[in-house]
Amino acid sequence: MRVPTISRVEVYPVELPITRTFVFASGSAGEAGAGARLVFVRVLDEEGRYGWGECRPMPGWSYETLETVVTTLRRHLIPAVVGTPASDLAGLHARMHAAIGRGPSTGQPIARSALDMAVHDLLARALGLPLRALLGGSPRPASVALSYTVTAASPEAAAQEVSAARAKGFEHFNFKVGVHPETDVQVARAIREAAGPEAFVWADANQGLAVERAARVAEGLAEAGVDVLEQPFAADKPHLMRAFRGRCPLPLAVDEASVSPSDFLLYASEGLVDYLVVKVTRSGGLWPSIAQVHIAQAFGLPLLISGLTDSMLTKMAACQLGAAFGCQGPAALNGSQFIDDSALFPTKAQVEHDGRVWLPELPGVGTEPDIDTLRSLEIKEV
């Protein structure tokens, strides 16, 4: 087989309907009735073979926006990588790094992630392998358990939400703390009681806990049966995590603070975290995410999977990565709860149901957007 070489890259900024409002401590993923803005990328080789990638820039979570992602791709990253063999993943990232360097961490990781994903998809398709097999896992069908995101602010509503989600097949649950701090602990208790003792219950602070009350909140969450507390403090303040570590009765994880492998290495080497939260878009793509996974393995840390309320494409790619390294979830990949991507992925019900993502033996990521629908949704003025 001739190794595919990147010859052309297409960029499609689109807007999908938001079906439910989703608010977290540092911002929002959008309000019901508004539009979720995503960027899809298709990488083609000289023979017309292709691969798909996607990212969702959210200004409330990151400094990247739809406009910066599109211009970074078109003006800097794509010109840098055209001509690169798809198998040269290290070279791909070296070229992207030369075009857009780093600041305190990886430069423009969300824009990079879409290109990285598309190249992985192209290479896996060309080889006839499911993405998880390309990454070193088994090609056999696999599944990854999803974690349902509870948005209710009262314990009563949270219990009802969990019960309804369990009826749909969800076994694990995550929720945001710091949005309604007065009810955080009560909501946690209601979720644990409704979810049962076997559920993994995951509290995400999104940098939103005040230092003076963090220990008290953590004690309440631990008593309520929460399994992990994620990113209690601002990403650029690791000293707060150091001071908090000995006072926190809960296992800890970071998200916004762990963009590059070296970021995660800092937290792991100092013993500040108990999990790696795998987040492909945040980390600049699959290639650097794998480096983070290897660091976690070296420190004996288990994996969780998370996302940016993405579409089905990123969900499948993240689950493929998890499956390659034996992670069966939970995966807080909640795009289907908050955005409607069914027109783009008309067969998604075949691979996402009963609270799980079911990974087929198809080559590549395992799904792709309908190109005609994608073009009809394209935002032209960017």
E strands present in 25-126: 27-30, 35-45, 50-55
* Distances 328 to 143, 242, 294, 346, 356 between C-alpha atoms, Å: 7, 30, 17, 25, 10
What does the alpha-carbon distance between residue 170 and residue 145 come to, in Å, rounded to a whole number?
8
Residue with tokens 């087929």: 360
* Distances 324 to 51, 108, 134, 229, 319 between C-alpha atoms, Å: 19, 26, 9, 25, 8
What does the alpha-carbon distance between residue 10 and residue 48 come to, in Å, rounded to a whole number?
13
Which of 284, 278, 173, 299 is closest to 228 using CA atoms?
A: 173
* Distances 299 to 54, 155, 319 between C-alpha atoms, Å: 30, 37, 22
Contact 366, 351 (CB under 8 A): yes
pLDDT at 34: 86
Number of separate helices (H) and strands (E) present in the chain:
14, 16
Residue with tokens 């926006």: 65
pLDDT at 26: 64
What does the alpha-carbon distance between residue 90 and residue 80 come to, in Å, rounded to a whole number?
14
Q: Is 198 helix (H, G, I), strand (E, B) or coil?
A: coil
pLDDT at 298: 98
What does the alpha-carbon distance between residue 113 and residue 287 come to, in Å, rounded to a whole number?
9
Q: Is 222 helix (H, G, I), strand (E, B) or coil?
A: helix
In the predicted model, residues of the chain with pLDDT beneath 50 are none
pLDDT at 31: 85
What does the alpha-carbon distance between residue 89 and residue 95 come to, in Å, rounded to a whole number?
10
For the chain, how many residues are written?
A: 382
**And the tokens for 135?**
């990454």
Identity of the residue numbered 169: G
What does the alpha-carbon distance between residue 54 and residue 116 come to, in Å, rounded to a whole number?
9
Q: Report CA 38 to chain centroid distance, whole Å.
A: 13
**And the tokens for 8?**
């052309």
> What are phi and psi for residue 288, nearest 5 degrees?
-70, -25
Cα angle 170, 176, 181 (rounded to 5 degrees) comes to: 135
pLDDT tens-digit profile of 144-169? 999 999 999 999 999 999 999 999 99
Which of 132, 101, 129, 120 is closest to 51 using CA atoms?
A: 120
pTM score, whole prediction? 0.96
